[in-house]
Amino acid sequence: MLHARISGIASYLPDDILDNEMLSKMVDTNDEWITTRVGIKTRHILRQEEAGSSFLGSKAVDKLLESTGTKPEEIDLIICATSNPDYRFPSTASVIAYKSGLKNCYGYDIQAACAGFIVALQDASAYIRAGYNKKVIVVCAEMMSSMVNYSDRTTCPLFGDGAAAVLVEPTEKETGVIDTVLHIDGIGRDHLVMKAGGSFKPTTHATVDAGENYLFQDGKFVYKHAVTDMYTSTLDICRRNGLTMESVDWLVPHQANLRIIEAVSSRAGIDPAKVLVNIEHTGNTSAASIPICLDEFKDKLKPGDKIVLTAFGAGFTWGAMYLIWDL
């Protein structure tokens, strides 16, 4: 029986940093207010002209290919998870494939917001297990600054730009992606949304003037559902696989908000030392947050480590994944 293992990982964060002091000069906020509420000190911002999410994604993919010794022509599928595509069409996956020289692959984008990495990795795993593909790249590329209203003090401190990519390959060992639980319910549409710019409400001068082409978030509503849904999906994946919080080596939650991470971890009853957190210096990078975090802490991870990933995003879309690390 084939399994899908992560055989390589890489990430890219742009050089420019926006810290809380800088934000306090742009909007009515301060370092103490931001740190206390969301646990973020700095975030990376892509300021290069005529560069979008594909720029970030191709940087991560290029680093991945180099670090794994993989030739671009060996890749047969690329799946890009993003809420910030370069264009409505063509796909950002196609732009990244072109930039990184992936000439022998198929590819597509998925939009699962902050849960995008888990969803895309589950897709990749299914293709691998079916024997349909041999070398799949999952890339999460998010220029979140392109949808943030920097006059909205409730949302602008939260988000940063970044990308990460993993190489997924088949193995006959019981390792890699073991199990996944995914959910979507649609009740979050009015609470975490970009109100204009789609076919339901196309962009007009009026929508731009009203700020409806920026991200909107009802923070309290989102917080409540994020904590509950990430907690319950974490318990579900553990029950399905005979895991306990003692036997789990690492919990890697979506880096949305430090208070959410702490609430999920506390309710689950896992040792805080086993929870990987890097939100303080990255902010919320949406779909890219989990793989960026995994890449940052990869030297702490050992082959055989039991890892639970959990994420929550717009829709609402949420879930958890059980991985056995093999890198």
180-199 per-position pLDDT tens digit = 999 999 999 999 999 999 99
pLDDT, one tens digit per residue, over 67-84 is 999 999 999 999 999 999
pTM: 0.98
Tell me, what's the pLDDT at 179? 98
In this structure, whether the domain defined by 178-324 belongs to CATH 3.40.50.1010 is answered with: no
| Max CA pair span of the chain | 57
Which 3 state secondary structure label does DSSP give 26? coil
Per-residue confidence band for 274, with pLDDT thresholds at 50, 70 and 90: very high
What average pLDDT does the segment 124-128 reach? 98
CA distance 163 to 53: 8
Residue 223 CB: number of other CB atoms within 10 A?
16
- The first and second tokens of residue 299, run together, are 């030297």
Name the residues annotated as catalytic. Answer: 114, 254, 284
Taking alpha carbons only, the member of 81, 83, 78 closest to residue 98 is 78
Taking alpha carbons only, the member of 112, 45, 41 closest to residue 258 is 41
| CATH placement of domain 3-173 | 3.40.47.10
CA distance 139 to 82: 9
What average pLDDT does the segment 55-76 reach? 98
Tell me, what's the pLDDT at 196? 98
Q: Give CATH 3.40.47.10 domain extents, the chain.
A: 3-173, 178-324
Tell me, what's the pLDDT at 271? 98
Tell me, what's the pLDDT at 77? 98
pLDDT, one tens digit per residue, over 27-40 is 999 999 999 999 99
Tell me, what's the pLDDT at 289? 98
pLDDT, one tens digit per residue, over 146-187 is 999 999 999 999 999 999 999 999 999 999 999 999 999 999
Contact 56, 46 (CB under 8 A): yes
User: In this prediction, what percent of the chain has a pLDDT beyond 70?
Assistant: 100
- Single-letter amino acid, residue 50: E
C-alpha distances (whole Å) from 53 to each of 44, 64, 109, 240, 309 are 13, 17, 12, 36, 23
What's the mean pLDDT when you consider all of the chain?
A: 98
Tell me, what's the pLDDT at 257? 95
pLDDT, one tens digit per residue, over 228-266 is 999 999 999 999 999 999 999 999 999 999 999 999 999
The kind and range of the H/E element at 321 are strand 317-324
> Look-up: residue for tokens 């306990």?
244
User: In this prediction, what percent of the chain has a pLDDT beyond 90?
Assistant: 100
> Look-up: residue for tokens 């670090």?
67
Taking alpha carbons only, the member of 233, 238, 231, 230 closest to residue 306 is 238
- The first and second tokens of residue 184, run together, are 């979507």
CA distance 289 to 252: 10
